[in-house]
Amino acid sequence: MNPAMANFFLRDETGLLNIAHRGGAAVRPENTLPAFQNALSLGAVALEGDLHATRDGVVVVSHDATVDRTTNGHGYIKDLTFLELRELDAGYRHTQDGGASYPYRGKGILVPTLEEVFRDPILAGTPMVLEIKQEEPNITDPVLDLIHAHDMVDRLVMGSFSRTALEGLRQRATARGMNLVTSLAEEEVFIFFMTLLEEMTRGDYVPPGKLLQVPVDHEVGDEKVEVVGPQLMAKARALGLKVHVWTVNEREEMLWLIHEMGVEGIITDDPGLLQEVINETRGA
């Protein structure tokens, strides 16, 4: 078997992947152990999360650079010690009714470390899409240390919006002998999008990653530009790239991506809804 194909996300037999965005942010406090655990119970087969590190170098799972939006605290994660971060309530601001209630306040939900996610008895070994958010200070080596220690290299796709961060991650992984699979950074997606299919089939373009993880559309000024469509899918097929689409929370859009576009994965805040759609598609 090609070593790259050992990766869960590159296998053809996995079928359409239900990937829980931030652990299913619509139904549990995002990027927390309860969110990730709940997503699996709803049918997700993979989890998506985001990485930062505290002032004392502990890699944690959080989307934002600050704790303001999701906790009862304030400040940048990189400026807080791990102990200071652990004093915060990661369920404090989660609401499903527009702020009428906050059912997870005071429930002891914490910002988890990446190590806690990897070794959690329910989550251990679960395939994940992990995005490097923090660029300074650089957290590449601590992240790779954890991936290696928990034997997760074949269960991960690593990504970043930053081309610099993702290129650095690829280089460090290669130097360490790790066959790490990555998606394309935002600038790399743009280059892919603008490259003609004819150039790709001539071999004039080599994708820097193994997967495309893209939104359905992208705002450019006041206009929305279609990203996912027949042309993008044709180019992905020509290069053997699998396509995951984010962040999809509407039934009709899920059905369109499955039936019309034939994508390999959908990243959603509502993994329960997506599983219902998948079951309907399979005639379950």
Q: What angle do CA 248, 251, 257 make, to 5 degrees?
A: 60
Specify the length of the chain in residues. 284
Collect all residues with Cβ–Cβ distance below 8 Å to 1 and sequence separation of at least 6.
none
Which of 180, 86, 186 shows the shortest CA–CA distance to 141? 180
Number of domains, the chain: 1
Q: What is the chain's pLDDT, residue by residue, as a tens digit (284 residues)? A: 455 569 999 998 778 999 999 999 999 999 999 999 999 999 999 999 999 999 999 999 999 999 999 999 999 999 999 999 999 999 999 999 999 999 999 999 999 999 999 999 999 999 999 999 999 999 999 999 999 999 999 999 999 999 999 999 999 999 999 999 999 999 999 999 999 999 999 999 999 999 999 999 998 888 899 999 999 999 999 999 999 999 999 999 999 999 999 999 999 999 999 999 999 988 75
54: containing domain = 3-282
Kindly provide the residue ranges of all beta strands, DSSP E only, lying in the chain, ordered along the sequence.
17-21, 46-53, 59-61, 128-132, 156-159, 211-215, 217-220, 223-226, 242-246, 265-268
Tell me the Cα Rg of the chain. Answer: 19
CA separation for the pair 183, 244 (Å, rounded): 10
CA separation for the pair 262, 14 (Å, rounded): 14
CA separation for the pair 119, 121 (Å, rounded): 6
CA distances from 136 to 59, 142, 193 (A): 13, 13, 29
3-class SS of residue 19:
strand
pTM recorded for the entire structure:
0.96
- Residue 211 DSSP symbol: E
CA separation for the pair 226, 96 (Å, rounded): 29
CATH number of the structural domain spanning residue 133: 3.20.20.190
